[in-house]
Amino acid sequence: MRHIIFVAVYLVLMVGIIVTLDVLFLREHFWWRLGTNVGVVLVFATAYLVWLRKAFT
């Protein structure tokens, strides 16, 4: 149960960062916005798979 809550908070944090970057800095730049969003998702996915997944196994 603790793992599910952690993943939910982790996803909300990731979405919050993406939305904040989109609204504050990248509203008018589609390709920069797309690249930044993909980059943020890749960083979060890598951090989860490399370090955080081990904490719950």
The domains of the chain are located at: 2-56
Q: Closest Cα partner for 19 from 6, 36, 5?
A: 36
Per-residue pLDDT at 53: 80
pLDDT in tens, 1-57: 888 999 999 999 999 999 999 999 999 999 999 999 999 999 999 999 998 888 876
0.85 exceeded by pTM: yes
Q: Widest CA span of the chain, in angstroms? A: 42
Burial class, 57, CB count within 10 angstroms (exposed 0-12 / middle 13-18 / buried 19+): exposed
Cα distance between residue 11 and residue 14, in whole Å: 5
